[in-house]
Amino acid sequence: YPASFMIAREATYWRWSHFRHHTDTIIVGRDPEIIFARPPSFRQVALTFSNIVGGPTLMLGAVRHATIGLSDVALQIVPERDHRRVVWEARAYVGIWLVVIALSLATWSPWPVLFVGGPTIYGAWLMVFFGITQHAGLREDVLDHRHSTRTVYMNPIFRFLYLNMNYHVEHHMFPAVPYRALPQLHAEIADQLPDAMPSTASAYREIFRAIGAQRNDPTWELPDRYVPEVRARRAQIVQAFEWVDGGEWIDLGAANLRPGELRSIDIGNHELLLACDDDGAVHLVDRTCTHGDADLSTGTIVGCEIECPKHNGRFDLRTGDGTRRPIQQALQTYPVRVHRGRVEARTEVGA
């Protein structure tokens, strides 16, 4: 609580916001802590450094929670059981700030405000300086934290002040590992991670290079950031799965799906999904979201699209194409027909 208060972060709200940040790191529309939205601008970077905008924005957020109630973002990320707690914490923060302002006015002295509340605006620069190195300029919309997060070798003084958070890929992948053990964790798994930046200066050079390029092309990614391969279980399964063109039609059950209904179908070890769109047309697609292995059978039909329950990405059921972020890869679709009241699909071969 004292640490959160000192930087005007509402403790419970921040806890859930940061929980989401670790789950959906730089997934646009899901991560509430993206520091530079694309396309970035150098003005944005300068403002972030000074915290002149960031500090008051956090304070106004607390004022909003204390008076009007939870913001739309807070309603999305904070579980209902903590809603009242967020409101009362915000009221406590605002109450303390008002007392401090009153004290400054009563004594006609800047000191109370300079020590409580004020440091959020003028004293947070070092936190920002370290914080920017964590994700700025790295890939959006991927679940593998090694693509979206940066580890930087820092000098012992920086590491002490920053509580070893310079080992940020490690921290993101294993947030329960305490700060003091992060150097050992780094030594243990370094060969599975992208190379750490050799210094804070080199990290900033990379960040400014990325920001410079992404200002003009928001899709630009750092070309020389190598992330070691890991075993791709799902890719192996999909490779072994082929459909015979012109093969037998096989029966998948009665064609009694209602618009919006989803039905899981397993053929061999392949997990498929029958989906009836809002116009009543039936589609057969892979059941696993191409973005993050989520099960689409608990998704939602919206018109001719299916929305993934995990990050709300969408696919066109007719073509499999991704129609909403963070989808980057199309969903496999399969030939299907309704014949004499039954749903039928082409037979499959493969391992």
- Residues near ligand FES (CB under 6 A) are 289, 291-292, 294, 308, 310-311, 313, 326-327
Q: Are 334 and 243 in contact (CB under 8 A)?
A: yes
Which residue lies nearer to ligand FES by CB, 239 or 329? 329
Find the shortest distance in angstroms from Cβ 21 to ligand FES. Answer: 15
Find the shortest distance in angstroms from Cβ 119 to ligand FES. Answer: 38
Backbone angles phi, psi at 252, to 5 degrees: -115, 10
Find the shortest distance in angstroms from Cβ 311 to ligand FES. Answer: 3
Which residue lies nearer to ligand FES by CB, 10 or 24? 24
Report DSSP letters for 240-275, one per residue. TEEE-TT--EEEEEES-PPTT-EEEEEETTEEEEEE
Find the shortest distance in angstroms from Cβ 26 to ligand FES. Answer: 13
Which residue lies nearer to ligand FES by CB, 17 or 288? 288
Report DSSP letters for 157-190, one per residue. HHHHHTTTTT-HHHHHH-TTS-GGGHHHHHHHHG
Which residue lies nearer to ligand FES by CB, 256 or 319? 319
For 275, how many CA atoms within 13 A lie in the half-sphere containing its CB?
29
263 class by beta-carbon count within 10 Å (0-12 exposed, 13-18 middle, 19+ buried): middle
Find the shortest distance in angstroms from Cβ 330 to ligand FES. Answer: 13
What is the rounded CA–CA span in Å between residue 331 and residue 291?
Answer: 9
Q: Is beta strand 262-267 parallel, antiparallel or unpaired with respect to 314-316?
A: unpaired
Which residue lies nearer to ligand FES by CB, 106 or 230? 230
Find the shortest distance in angstroms from Cβ 294 to ligand FES. Answer: 4
Secondary structure (3-state) at 225: coil
Find the shortest distance in angstroms from Cβ 169 to ligand FES. Answer: 20
Find the shortest distance in angstroms from Cβ 304 to ligand FES. Answer: 18
In degrees, rounded to 5, the angle at the alpha carbon of residue 143 between the alpha carbons of residues 139 and 148 is 30
Which residue lies nearer to ligand FES by CB, 54 or 313? 313
What is the rounded CA–CA span in Å between residue 16 and residue 37?
Answer: 20
Which residue lies nearer to ligand FES by CB, 58 or 142? 142
Secondary structure (3-state) at 49: helix
Q: Are 332 and 238 in contact (CB under 8 A)?
A: yes
Find the shortest distance in angstroms from Cβ 312 to ligand FES. Answer: 6
What is the rounded CA–CA span in Å between residue 136 and residue 76?
Answer: 24
What is the rounded CA–CA span in Å between residue 241 and residue 58?
Answer: 51
What is the rounded CA–CA span in Å between residue 209 and residue 32?
Answer: 24
Which residue lies nearer to ligand FES by CB, 251 or 293? 293
What is the rounded CA–CA span in Å between residue 335 and residue 237?
Answer: 19
- The residues that bridge with 305 in the sheet, in sequence order, are 302, 316
Which residue lies nearer to ligand FES by CB, 265 or 294? 294
Q: How many helices (H) and strands (E) does the chain have?
A: 15, 13
